[in-house]
Amino acid sequence: APTPTCTSGAVCMWGTACGLPISELSAIAIMRHLKQYHHAELHPLCLRIRSVCQWRTSNGSPCGNPLLTRNLGKHIATVHLRATTMTCPGCGWVFTRPDSLKCHLRNGCKRG
């Protein structure tokens, strides 16, 4: 089975772009960083409420995507950092989420 391509690290671009390094790009490590350094911007007790992603995009504006607070780490890892990028071994298509690749393979890769 294909494995995710892992980048060695990234710089936090949350809010006013804190600039601190995030060495591990897993959803759990990103959430740990957000809780430790940006807890005032996140509801500290309930991860089941909606938050708005404040990750700065390439044009400098915040993402603005509303999602459950508990999903922020996964969203940042997959969408903004592309830390879970996987390539289909059959056709070479690139997927940002492992479950999307699984679905692609399950539905029969058309091989380019």
Q: Which tens digits make up the pLDDT trace of 8-55? A: 689 999 988 788 999 899 999 999 999 888 876 666 556 678 889 999
C-alpha distance from residue 30 to each of 34, 86, 94, 102 (Å): 6, 19, 23, 24
For residue 2, pLDDT beyond 50: no
Predicted pLDDT at 5:
40
Q: pLDDT grade, residue 109 (50/70/90)?
A: confident
Contact (CB, 8 A) for 9 and 89: no
Q: Which two tokens stand for residue 52?
A: 């708005």
- Mean pLDDT over 82-93 rounds to 90
pLDDT tens readout for residues 66-86: 999 889 999 999 899 988 888
